[in-house]
Amino acid sequence: MGAQIQDISERRAREDRLHHMANHDGLTGLLNRHSFVMQIKERLERDGTAAVFVLDLDGFKDVNDSLGHAVGDTLLQALALRLSATSDPAENLARLGGDEFGILLPADIDITNLAVRANTLIESIRRPFSVSGHELNLSASVGVAVAPLHAKDADELIVRADLALFKAKGEGGRRYHVFDTGLENQLGAARAFQDELRFAFSERQFELHFQPQVLLDDGMLTGAEALLRWNHPVRGFLRPAAFMAVLETHPLAYEIGCWVLDESCRTLAAWRSHGLPALRMCVNLFAAQLRSGTLGEVVEATLTRHGLMPSDLELEITETIALRHEDKELAPLWNLRSRGVGIAFDDFGTGFASLSALKDFPLTRLKIDRSFVSDVCSNPHSAAIVRGVITIGRSLGLDVIAEGIETDEQVSYLKASGCVSGQGYFFGKPMPTYDFIDMFGGTR
Ligand code: C2E
Ligand code: CA
Ligand code: CA
């Protein structure tokens, strides 16, 4: 009799264990994808409504690649613990695969509270994780979808939260995005275009054109800005306006940025051997290059590879990139500047950079945006901004260059206002390397 009871309870325990294993993720102990879907189904049957978050770490792959899978796994366990500790007991937590987690919000949550909850979640993950002796600073993105507003069943709800997550990551991560119906078409098209860009890069369809920079006083050539062109097999040379929005958020942006750097430095070295005078190469950076933390090493290695000095190079950074940075991302720039690499603030005056941001940022030059230069002679507001930027530059000890100069009058006005350098169609359009050599007196 006693043995029989023991038998039964052992069997129960075994069944419970099997049941638990079938419904939970082995690594984190959270619900697995299957039972998460079942929970949503039940919720929808009972209440007819459900709100779901899909959360994913920004840059988890980097941790895995650089510190190994064992550390990656421990990090996922730590993340699961953090999520459990900070979540409402009425929330259902699941690991959906990889570094993707699902959260089914409590049935009684008010839709207007979803944003608040998503933000506290994102904030909770920004506290550092200490994993296997490493202190990891991470961030996460969240996609939000609500049934029946965005989807009719559980599977569709997760797919749509996933799409919203993709969008949140595309916008730079560290944020949430709520699904909307335009997203599906938009993301479908964006994905197809991303594939096309990847193909174009592997087929070497990208090229650089170079635009001269001169001293306004005597027109002397001092530099060149490298500008990306897509030599499209059907559509011809495409300017960045046709592809930059997608490229900037493309996983390849970092690699393409490294290629631009390498190709423009290679070109500068080649110009020297063709007898062109000394000039500085100016290269636009992608946000991904700043975010990577490797910019210092990459720039140094590129200069060495082509036998160039730090002072042969200027990096251009737009206001949006500059304002979105984390302080630690600026360390390589400070370092590069102290080594003699120029750092220009591109499109200056078009964004929201405060003047105090200027002093916290390692700069050597301000670039007055084309939009102010284009009507500097006719629009008093533009003229005031142009003069203002020149004054700020002078008082902070920064060089100033005006871009987009097209006319003689603009040159005169800028010169009279104390602007030293310029760039624009008036002096030369962006052109292929051999045209540049011809124009500036080198021998081919
Ligand atoms: P940007 O850095 O502000 O580059 C100046 C843009 O103004 C270039 O457009 C150039 O062709 C154009 N431009 C120059 N002078 C004149 C002028 O006198 N009149 C007019 N109307 N336009 C002038 P582009 O080449 O189409 O580049 C657009 C933007 O794409 C660039 O703006 C830059 O933000 C981005 N970009 C270009 N190449 C690269 C690259 O290699 N890497 C990165 N990260 N961004 C790039
Ligand atoms: Ca630029
Ligand atoms: Ca610009």
In a domain, 9, yes or no: no
pLDDT of residue 248: 86
The CATH number linked to 269 is 3.20.20.450
172/206 same-domain check: no
Question: Distance between CA 174 and CA 169 in Å, rounded?
Answer: 8
CB atoms within 10 A of CB 85: 8
| Three-state SS at 18 | helix
Give me the domain span that covers residue 364: 191-439
In a domain, 6, yes or no: no
- Stated as kind and residue range, the H or E segment containing 230 is strand 221-232
311/427 same-domain check: yes
Residues 268, 308 contacting (CB under 8 angstroms): yes
Question: Distance between CA 422 and CA 220 in Å, rounded?
Answer: 10
In a domain, 1, yes or no: no
Contact 183 CB / ligand 1 (< 6 Å): no
165/245 same-domain check: no
| Sequential DSSP letters for 238-280 | EPGGGTHHHHHTSTTHHHHHHHHHHHHHHHHHHHHHTTPPP-E
288/340 same-domain check: yes
In a domain, 171, yes or no: yes
> Per residue in 70-105, pLDDT tens?
999 999 999 999 999 988 888 999 999 889 999 999
Contact 285 CB / ligand 1 (< 6 Å): yes
Domain boundary among 158, 180, 202: 180
339/219 same-domain check: yes
Q: Compute, in angstroms, the gap from residue 277 CA to the centroid of ligand 2.
A: 22
234/366 same-domain check: yes
Question: For 152, which DSSP code?
Answer: S
Cα 57–chain centre separation? 15
| Sequential DSSP letters for 93-136 | EEEEETTEEEEEPPTT--GGGHHHHHHHHHHHHHS-EEETTEEE
119/254 same-domain check: no
Question: Distance between CA 201 and CA 196 in Å, rounded?
Answer: 9
pLDDT of residue 10: 83
The CATH number linked to 152 is 3.30.70.270
Q: Compute, in angstroms, the gap from residue 284 CA to the centroid of ligand 1.
A: 9
In a domain, 300, yes or no: yes
Contact 207 CB / ligand 1 (< 6 Å): no
Mutate to test the pocket of ligand 1, among 254, 284, 407 (most ligand atoms within 8 A of CB): 284
Question: Distance between CA 249 and CA 241 in Å, rounded?
Answer: 14
Instruction: Name, in order, each residue with C-beta under 8 angstroms of 153's C-beta and a sequence gap of 6 or more.
Output: 41, 44, 147
Instruction: Name, in order, each residue with C-beta under 8 angstroms of 342's C-beta and a sequence gap of 6 or more.
Output: 280, 282, 311, 313, 314, 315, 364, 365
Domain boundary among 180, 200, 232: 180
Nearest-CA neighbor of 289 among 346, 333, 228, 244? Answer: 333
Give how many domains the chain has, as a whole number. 2
Pick the ligand that lies closest to the CA of residue 241: 1
102/241 same-domain check: no
pLDDT of residue 430: 98
pLDDT of residue 1: 54
240/345 same-domain check: yes
Residues 352, 319 contacting (CB under 8 angstroms): yes
Domain boundary among 119, 154, 180: 180
172/276 same-domain check: no
pLDDT of residue 116: 93
304/405 same-domain check: yes
Mutate to test the pocket of ligand 1, among 207, 228, 318 (most ligand atoms within 8 A of CB): 228
pLDDT of residue 284: 97
Contact 420 CB / ligand 1 (< 6 Å): no
- Stated as kind and residue range, the H or E segment containing 297 is helix 295-305
206/350 same-domain check: yes
In a domain, 90, yes or no: yes
pLDDT of residue 51: 96
Give every residue of the chain whose pLDDT is below 70, as ranges.
Answer: 1-3, 323-326, 351-354, 356
